[in-house]
């Protein structure tokens, strides 16, 4: 048992996985918002400029892949511990496409986006497949709708819609007030 924990019971495994998930999200959040995360964003956008500024672009990329590989390994460990078995289907193209679908549909540039995308795909896979034989078709239609109306993903698209709606609502509110109640800057 890892760290002396008996994870054979479902509730114990659930809470252990929840703790690992929380640690992963917290560490990734710190990683992205740290100065190293800023240098990573700079390397992604302008690698030559970062190199000219004296940053070791190769080392930044290497450490990022190392960090990503660590959390991928932890996820794989939890997957194997949960299933007690691994088959070739796990590394099939459909599994990789499913993971990519999760990230793209939720929003790849955010921390919350892949979580939302994963929730959508898992719910579709587990709930819709019980009622609809061709649930993959329904998932494909939902994915096409997301890409058509929110190409940046659900989370950034929802934030954009919320801000647009809020600004429109505030604009209507300001326009409906009499001129004497308007702020000085808008007169």
Residue with tokens 């409906």: 176
Q: How many CB atoms lie within 10 A of CB 77?
A: 12
User: What's the average model confidence in pLDDT over 152-167?
Assistant: 89
Residue with tokens 């078995």: 85
Dig out the tokens for 176 from the structure: 């409906």
Reported pTM: 0.75
Quick one: pLDDT band at residue 131, thresholds 50, 70, 90?
Answer: confident
User: What's the average model confidence in pLDDT over 123-150?
Assistant: 88
Q: What is the pLDDT of residue 91?
A: 84
Q: What is the pLDDT of residue 129?
A: 84
Write the CA distances from 150 to 46, 100, 103, integer angstroms: 26, 16, 13
Look at residue 180 and tell me whether its pLDDT is greater than 70: no
User: Helix and strand tally (H, E) in the chain?
Assistant: 9, 0
User: What's the average model confidence in pLDDT over 55-68?
Assistant: 96
User: What's the average model confidence in pLDDT over 96-121?
Assistant: 90
Q: What percent of the chain has pLDDT over 70?
A: 90
Quick one: pLDDT band at residue 171, thresholds 50, 70, 90?
Answer: confident
Give the span between the Cα atoms of 98 and 93, in whole angstroms. 8
User: What's the average model confidence in pLDDT over 32-36?
Assistant: 94
Q: Which residues, at least 6 apart from 78, have a Cβ–Cβ distance to it below 8 Å? A: 17, 20
Please state, rounded to an integer, the average pLDDT across all residues of the chain: 87
Quick one: pLDDT band at residue 31, thresholds 50, 70, 90?
Answer: very high
Write the CA distances from 120 to 2, 31, 40, 76, 172, integer angstroms: 31, 26, 29, 21, 35
User: What's the average model confidence in pLDDT over 172-182?
Assistant: 60
User: What's the average model confidence in pLDDT over 91-111?
Assistant: 88
Q: Which segments of the chain does DSSP mark as H helices, in order? A: 10-33, 35-45, 47-52, 57-83, 93-106, 113-123, 129-131, 135-149, 154-176
Residue with tokens 């000219």: 52
Give the span between the Cα atoms of 42 and 31, in whole angstroms. 14
């Amino acid at each position: 048992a890892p760290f002396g924990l008996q994870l054979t019971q479902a509730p114990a495994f659930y809470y252990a996985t929840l703790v690992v998930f929380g640690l992963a999200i917290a560490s990734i959040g710190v990683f992205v918002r740290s100065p190293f995360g800023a240098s990573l964003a700079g390397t992604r956008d302008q690698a030559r400029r970062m190199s000219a500024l004296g940053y070791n672009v190769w080392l930044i990329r290497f450490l990022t892949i190392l960090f990503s590989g660590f959390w991928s390994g932890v996820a794989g460990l939890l997957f194997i511990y949960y299933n007690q078995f691994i088959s070739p289907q796990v590394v099939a193209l459909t599994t990789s496409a499913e993971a990519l679908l999760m990230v793209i549909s939720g929003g790849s540039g955010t921390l919350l986006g892949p979580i939302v995308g994963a929730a959508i795909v898992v719910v579709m896979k587990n709930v819709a497949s019980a009622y609809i034989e061709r649930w993959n078709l329904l998932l494909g239609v939902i994915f096409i709708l997301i890409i058509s109306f929110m190409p940046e993903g659900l989370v950034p698209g929802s934030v954009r819609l919320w801000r647009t709606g809020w600004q429109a609502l505030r604009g209507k509110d300001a326009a409906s007030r009499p001129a004497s109640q308007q702020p000085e800057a808008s007169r």
